[in-house]
Structure 1
Amino acid sequence: MANNLLTPEELSALAEGVNDGTIPVDTGYNTSARVRKHDLASEDSSLGVNVASIDMINERFVRLFRLGLLEMLRSSPRVNPTHVQIVRFGDYLKDLRAPLSVNVVRMNPLRGYSIVVIDPVVVFSSLDSFFGGFGRGVGELPSSRPFTPTETRIINMILDVFFRSLKEAWSPLIEIDFELVSSEINPQFAQIADENDLVILTRFETEGGPQTQGFIDLVYPYSSLKPVRDLLRSRVQTGDGNEESDNQWRDDLGNAVDSASLEMRVLLGSFEGSFKTIENMQAGDVLYFKKPELARLLINDVPAFDVQVGALGTQTAVQIDRAVIPGMQ
């Protein structure tokens, strides 16, 4: 143990001088400097990642994800994103209960690993819809129950739609490729970060049928988005975008509208009949109706033009005579 440089009497005199003000204590270098308390063991959560930009990416993702699920399940479950949260990974894990479909994912070129967590309610509701049901969910499951091969197949189909939709949602900023690394049922085994590390959490709340509210969580390590934080600030459209980006957004929107696919049908005529007549109709019956002067061209079932029906070469064709919708020529 080191020896004291001052005697007990000198230390006592020094303390008395500080207490009665005879010895000044506000001397030294940078006495007026403003300081801020900082915990070196804690990761800073104000490193510039634009959470509002992540929200906008999620909104774009949800639109694409709904369409993908509609194509897969032939039903349209509700999917609503919650606001992005920055939380400690340990705090997130303690609220989860097995069994869950916990999928560790590498999102190249982002650093580290992310996880996609799917509630069993979503899995069983999708399974029921896929086989022609009404999207019913499932009750509480034992924590150690694994997913069957059929359930795992449904999970992989959901992940495929999820990855494709998220890839397209991120594409205006950066091209991302997804690699499924592993799958677990216990979230404690998916250690993509230390307990005190910050993660970016988005929960997508789902409803696939009666009383089948579930969720899908997307969790990024906070550090994985640091390399792209400048992109998140500058390239995602926000309400205060500059004129150049607004014009680009307007051009992209116009191009998307111009390339939209529309169905056009020609209605040659119509007739009215009683329910009994229609009920007794069979192959070989002849239906009579008055031929109109002009046929009607419908665009997505909306009357648009009156047309003349004829032929051009070997093809049946129509020639537009007049517009039905005001403003169309």
Structure 2
Amino acid sequence: MVDNLLSSEELAALTEGVNDGSIAVDTGFNTAARVKKHDLASEDSSLGVNTSSIDMINERFIRTFRLALMEVLRTSPKINPTKVQVVKFGDYLRELKAPLSVNVIRMNPLRGFSTILIDPSVIFSSLDSFFGGFGKGTLGTLSAGRMFTPMEARIINMILDAAFKTLREAWAPILPLDFELVSQEINPQFAQIADENDLVILSRFETETPTQNVGFIDIVHPYVALKPVRELLRSRLQAGDGNEESDKAWRDELELAVGGASLDSRVVLGQIHTTFRAVEAMQPGDILHFKKPELATLQPNGIPAFEVRIGTVGAQVAVQVERAVAPGGK
């Protein structure tokens, strides 16, 4: 048998010291270690969805959403996306105030439900524009239980249809989605797409009409709904946008729109340097002398663009383009 390390007298002394408090007990283990509490039941956003990929989807969404609104509502407000946030659903709900247009949607084949929230100012300004106004849409004071009228509900559905169409296009390079409207509420507390402590991904789009009427549209996804596709989102981010075909179509549309813009052009044959005093003294019949250049200058919107030769075609005065003017040239 191994001998005891402490004698009976030493053990008795230790016991007496513990009993009278002269020897400290329960001093802990690794008390200097820095620790952080962690709830095993909570979602960890650091290991899941990359929100930068959601930002890219939102950028594609904005490109066509304004055009879609113009087609159906005759209004094209400024729409600025804010940075995507990951927040607790309960914290997000506490910032909202009814009435709002709260639309619960399903994004098949993803699990669960998402929401599209539309600020009443967006609805009322769109309604004003739809009937030929300037998008003022003054709100006044709205009671929390105010229901939307049938005409306002129609405007909401038109906004949703435009959003579904453009969201489908924005998500297409990553995952084909089918959007379905499930229910509509005016109080966000009734749209329980997640528990209060669950994380959600918030995309807010701030809107502003030409009359400076501001509002917002929120798209909220439960964090767990996008986790199954996080690898797809990450791979698209690493490989780039992955939407070259959509970008080319957007560039072509932009080029077509710019190409149809109107420009006031003039042909300048020559210039005379003079003084204000000389101009003030001019009378009808005065002759101004200047050296005629070989070529005139064609100036769209006052910017020298081409050197041209002046002549006639039939009974019309015309110019023939000879060469382009270098940027910054005169």
With the length of structure 1 as denominator, give the TM-score of the two structures: 0.67
Q: 2:80, 2:207 within 8 Å by CA — same for their partners in 1?
A: yes
* The 10-residue stretch of structure 1 (127-136 or 203-212) with the greater mean CA deviation from structure 2: 203-212
Aligned equivalent of 2:6: none
Please tell me the root mean square deviation across aligned C-alpha atoms, in Å: 4.5
For the residues of structure 2 that align with 1:263 and 1:23, how far apart are their CA atoms?
A: 82
Aligned equivalent of 1:198: 199
CA distance 1:25–1:43, shift in 2 (3 Å): closer
Per-residue Cα deviation, 1:54-80 (whole angstroms, up to 9, x for no partner): 111112211211111122233321111
1:13 aligns with 2:15: yes
Q: 1:82, 1:205 within 8 Å by CA — same for their partners in 2?
A: yes
1:140 aligns with 2:136: no
Q: How does 1:154-303 map to 2 (within 5 A)?
A: 154-236=155-237, 241=238, 253=247, 257=251, 261=256
For the residues of structure 2 that align with 1:111 and 1:99, how far apart are their CA atoms?
A: 27
CA distance 1:253–1:325, shift in 2 (3 Å): farther
CA distance 1:325–1:107, shift in 2 (3 Å): farther
Q: How does 1:35-184 map to 2 (within 5 A)?
A: 37-136=37-136, 137-184=138-185
CA distance 1:100–1:23, shift in 2 (3 Å): closer
For the residues of structure 1 that align with 2:80 and 2:56, how far apart are their CA atoms?
A: 13
For the residues of structure 1 that align with 2:200 and 2:179, how far apart are their CA atoms?
A: 19
- Tell me by how many angstroms 1:321 deviates: 9.0
Q: 1:125, 1:138 within 8 Å by CA — same for their partners in 2?
A: no
- Tell me by how many angstroms 1:263 deviates: 5.4
Q: 1:88, 1:199 within 8 Å by CA — same for their partners in 2?
A: yes
CA distance 1:249–1:323, shift in 2 (3 Å): farther
Aligned equivalent of 1:291: none
Gap regions ≥5 residues in structure 1 = 1-8, 28-32, 271-295, 307-319
For the residues of structure 2 that align with 1:176 and 1:72, how far apart are their CA atoms?
A: 23
Tell me the number of residue pairs that the alignment of Structure 1 and Structure 2 aligns. Answer: 273
Aligned equivalent of 1:309: none
Give the counterpart letter for 1:77 in structure 2: P
- Tell me by how many angstroms 1:207 deviates: 1.3
Larger Rg: 2
CA distance 1:14–1:60, shift in 2 (3 Å): farther
For the residues of structure 2 that align with 1:186 and 1:50, how far apart are their CA atoms?
A: 30
Q: Secondary structure at the match of 1:124?
A: helix
Per-residue Cα deviation, 1:117-138 (whole angstroms, up to 9, x for no partner): 1111110000000100010132
- Tell me by how many angstroms 1:251 deviates: 7.8
CA distance 1:23–1:62, shift in 2 (3 Å): closer
CA distance 1:86–1:326, shift in 2 (3 Å): same
Per-residue Cα deviation, 1:254-292 (whole angstroms, up to 9, x for no partner): 676568645599xxxx9xxxxxxxxxxxxxxxxxxxxxx
With the length of structure 2 as denominator, give the TM-score of the two structures: 0.67
- Tell me by how many angstroms 1:42 deviates: 2.5
